[in-house]
């Protein structure tokens, strides 16, 4: 573990000095945490190129908006912008959405007293898996 920390400390030092560091990794959480730019290549094809947030945003349908079920109509939630599915578990409703910002704006307009709002966006691993699956690549 000390070796990994030392490695990342040196990498950050190189970048701070204005150098470019290029590396390939299967540790996607490290790429997400450290990289300024991520390139996803599978099967010799470029599938994504951008900041970690831009690459994760390409994983449409992998973001979730979750709220307390307190009296919310499933029909209201299913008709919000970008909502793909609505699930219910233990008193919470979870919306799978391709645009969580649009979904939340509309939700708050229609149900301003919603409780327990949580948003989780796709992580780098989910984005990678979705991108390579969508394009017929291999992971």
Domain annotation covers residue 53: yes
Q: Tell whether 42 and 16 lie within a shared domain.
A: yes
Taking the C-alpha atoms of residue 57 and residue 121, their distance in angstroms, rounded to an integer, is 8
Taking the C-alpha atoms of residue 29 and residue 8, their distance in angstroms, rounded to an integer, is 13
| pLDDT given at position 62 | 66
Q: Tell whether 45 and 72 lie within a shared domain.
A: no
Q: Tell whether 30 and 50 lie within a shared domain.
A: yes
Number of domains in the chain: 2
* pLDDT tier, 118 (very low <50, low <70, confident <90, very high otherwise): very high
Q: Tell whether 85 and 51 lie within a shared domain.
A: no
Domain annotation covers residue 139: no
DSSP labels for 95-133?
EEES-HHHHHHHHHHH-TT--S-EEE---HHHHHHHHHH
Q: Tell whether 103 and 79 lie within a shared domain.
A: yes
Write the pLDDT tens digit of every residue in 54-109.
888 776 556 889 999 888 888 999 999 999 889 999 889 999 888 889 999 999 99
Dig out the tokens for 115 from the structure: 């409780």
Find the mean pLDDT for residues 27-37.
Answer: 87
Domain annotation covers residue 47: yes
Compute CA distances 41 → 21, 22, 136, whole Å: 18, 14, 12
| pLDDT given at position 61 | 52
Taking the C-alpha atoms of residue 114 and residue 107, their distance in angstroms, rounded to an integer, is 8
Q: Tell whether 49 and 96 lie within a shared domain.
A: no
Q: Tell whether 38 and 81 lie within a shared domain.
A: no
pTM of the complete model: 0.59
| pLDDT given at position 138 | 47
Q: Tell whether 35 and 46 lie within a shared domain.
A: yes
**Domain region containing 34:** 2-57+123-134
CA atoms in the 13 A half-sphere facing the CB of 23: 16
Q: Tell whether 77 and 101 lie within a shared domain.
A: yes
Q: Tell whether 67 and 109 lie within a shared domain.
A: yes
| pLDDT given at position 76 | 93
Q: Tell whether 108 and 128 lie within a shared domain.
A: no
Q: What is the chain's mean pLDDT, rounded?
A: 86
Taking the C-alpha atoms of residue 105 and residue 72, their distance in angstroms, rounded to an integer, is 16
Domain annotation covers residue 80: yes
| pLDDT given at position 136 | 56
CATH of the domain at 74: 3.30.70
Find the mean pLDDT for residues 3-30.
Answer: 88
| pLDDT given at position 29 | 86
DSSP labels for 31-43?
HHHH-S-EEEEET
Longest dimension (CA), the chain: 55
| pLDDT given at position 53 | 85
């Amino acid at each position: 573990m000390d070796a990994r920390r030392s490695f990342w400390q040196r990498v950050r030092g190189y970048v701070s000095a204005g150098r470019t560091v290029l590396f390939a990794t299967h540790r996607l959480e490290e790429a997400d945490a450290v990289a300024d730019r991520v390139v996803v290549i599978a099967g010799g094809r470029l599938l994504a190129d951008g900041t970690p947030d831009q690459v994760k945003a390409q994983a449409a349908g992998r973001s979730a908006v979750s709220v307390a079920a307190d009296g919310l109509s499933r029909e209201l939630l299913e008709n919000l912008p970008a909502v793909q599915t609505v699930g219910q578990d233990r008193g919470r409703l979870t919306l799978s959405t391709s645009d969580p910002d649009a979904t939340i704006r509309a939700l708050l307009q229609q149900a301003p007293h919603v409780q327990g709002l949580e948003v989780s966006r796709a992580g780098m691993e989910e984005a990678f898996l979705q991108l390579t699956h969508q394009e017929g690549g291999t992971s």
